[in-house]
Amino acid sequence: MAKHKEQEKLSPYVSPNELPERWRCGRSSVDRIATRAGLKKLYLGEGKNGIVRFIRKEVEAYEARITN
């Protein structure tokens, strides 16, 4: 599991399912906040089997803006 955490830290992407814990909100709020903040979504795959990721640098920049 430690290897997974290390790889997660190195990933340039963030899953929308990771953000509710970081932002202390619900999953539906993540979508709303991301849209209002103008965070770009990266879509991998299509349909129900596709996944969505946010760019980590954009997420961190947004978090820095709202905490200052």
When pLDDT is cut at 50, 70 and 90, the band that residue 3 belongs to is low
Give 54: exposed, middle or buried? Use CB within 10 Å, 0-12, 13-18, 19+.
buried
- CATH number assigned to the domain comprising residue 40: 3.30.56
**What total number of domains does the chain contain?**
1
Is 51 a member of any domain?
yes
Handedness of CA 26, 34, 40, 2 (dihedral sign): negative
Identify the residue with better confidence: 15 or 68: 15
Is 2 a member of any domain?
no
Is 22 a member of any domain?
yes
Give residue-wise pLDDT tens across range 12-67. 999 999 999 999 999 999 999 999 999 999 998 887 788 999 999 999 999 999 98
Is 61 a member of any domain?
yes
Look up the domain containing 44 and give its range.
Answer: 12-67
The pLDDT value given to residue 37:
95
Is 4 a member of any domain?
no
